[in-house]
Structure 1
Amino acid sequence: MLLDPIGGGSAIQPHQPLNSRPDLGQVERDYQVETDKMIKWEPNYVGWFVKSTKMTKTEGEMLDNLQSKEGLNGVNEFKRIGKDAFSTSEKRFDTNRAEDGHQDAFRHAYWNARMTKEYGEKFAKDFATAHEGTLNESDREAMDLYNNEVGRRIATENPHASNKELADLVEAAVGNGEMIVIDRQGNLAWSDQVPVGDHGTANGLVMEEGKPRPDGETYPSGST
């Protein structure tokens, strides 16, 4: 059940009409980011990370900026949002293997919804996109970037939702098939087309920078 973004009531219809879902092959081609330089980042304050943390250069720059504006408390709050995304995803989708499945999809979307609520859509988009600037399998990268976007949309359409309500909305979106997971064949699939806990693993193929992998044969006409 989705919240009414204006009135705070409930709305039956899913966020994204299922007959309008995009072609998954096109999603894989479109939802890719350039590989960023990896760095070891640590805050200027003692206590957030015990050790330096490996992340993309852009992520580090954004955290430096957040720290300069909000100090240690702001950086700690950012960390708490990430931890909450992990713990809530584990409670909502208790599966043996999280990566590439429904728990993973929920976590990415809920994390983006929380970041959008706290910092605005631009910050959430920029940071979540920078987070994917590693050398990822193309289908996993597309899955994460797409689910991130769904989470941001949910937050912007429900600006007064509590954290629990955001989690409920994201969980409903997973159930409605608005999210993407990896199926048993290692391909992208809508979250309502794969039973929870029965997902597969990314196929290991990586797109060459600037040269998306054509995969029309990978996604049959009925996959949307």
Structure 2
Amino acid sequence: MNVMVSFGQSNHKNFFTLSGPAKKWVLLHPLKAKKALRISLEAKRISDSIQKTNVLDGDASGGQVDAFRHAFWMARLHQELGKSAARTLGKAHEKENYITFKKGKLEDGTLPDEISSKMDLWNNEQGLKLTKKGSKIPKNGLIFRVINAVKAGKLKIIKKDKKGNFLTCKGAKISQKELFQKWNNKKCLVASN
């Protein structure tokens, strides 16, 4: 979630380190950028805490914790900034992921790809459905809503074996070479449960 954390230090120098999509979002939402940062850091912190428990699968890169992070992030952004601003920030993040892939850089320990972006966009949309702007649902209540959505299979994760290797929809292991060479590889989205 680089786009979220990057624009945080609230000084102009850091603005210039952002990707084009992130800069555009900040310029279009200057009054919301600081709140978005706070919510983004909160979503990361809560996800990191959940990753250390056995509530979800512990997988922050394509697994249930990753799905949770995106859905919770969007739900909180929707709650405080509105649906449109939240959705466009989520889309800016996914555009940034393509740029990250082209540069060969990692995000959350893996190279971003098309299926990961599809997963994130799906989970973002599900998160937007969990609350409304101005909703007074407490954070703990929202955390449980998102966890329940994950466990009910309403979110998407990427199919992996028990060793963490990415698999095709037919269950074949995907080579590291393919993962690092292709934006559109053979990873498979499955229900989060």
Q: For the superposition of Structure 1 and Structure 2, which TM-score range results when normalised by the shorter chain? A: 0.5 to 0.7
5+ residue gaps in structure 1?
Answer: 1-37, 190-199, 208-212
Structure-1 residue corresponding to 2:107: none
2:155 corresponds to 1:155: no
- Total equivalences in the alignment: 156
1:104-158 deviation per Cα after TM superposition (whole angstroms, max 9, x unaligned): 1111110001111111111111110111013241211111111111100112399
Structure-1 residue corresponding to 2:113: 137
2:35 corresponds to 1:77: yes
Matches within 5 A, 1:100-111: 100-111=62-73
Distance 1:51 1:187, change over 3 A: farther
Within the candidate set 125, 133, 147, 1:171 is matched to 147
Distance 1:75 1:158, change over 3 A: closer
Q: What's the RMSD between the two structures over aligned residues?
A: 3.5
Q: Which structure's relative contact order is higher, taking Cα pairs within 8 Å and 6+ residues apart?
A: 1
5+ residue gaps in structure 2?
Answer: 99-111
Stretches of 4+ aligned residues off by more than 4 angstroms? 200-203
More strand by share: 1
More helix by share: 2
- What SS does the corresponding residue of 2:140 show, helix, strand or coil? helix
Distance 1:201 1:176, change over 3 A: farther
Moved more, 165-174 or 87-96: 87-96
Contact preservation (8 Å) 2:122, 2:155: yes
Structure-1 residue corresponding to 2:29: 66
- What SS does the corresponding residue of 1:155 show, helix, strand or coil? coil
Contact preservation (8 Å) 1:147, 1:180: yes
Query: How far, CA to CA, are the matches of 2:157 and 2:33 in structure 1?
Result: 30
Distance 1:106 1:146, change over 3 A: same
Distance 1:103 1:118, change over 3 A: same
How many Å apart are 1:178 and its aligned residue?
1.0
Query: How far, CA to CA, are the matches of 2:34 and 2:89 in structure 1?
Result: 16
Structure with max Cα Rg = 1
How many Å apart are 1:88 and its aligned residue?
0.8
TM-score (norm 2): 0.66
Query: How far, CA to CA, are the matches of 1:156 and 1:125 in structure 2?
Result: 13
Identity %, equivalent residues = 22
- What SS does the corresponding residue of 1:99 show, helix, strand or coil? coil
Letter in structure 1 aligned against 2:114: S
Distance 1:100 1:65, change over 3 A: same
Contact preservation (8 Å) 1:113, 1:154: yes
2:67 corresponds to 1:91: no
Distance 1:166 1:58, change over 3 A: same
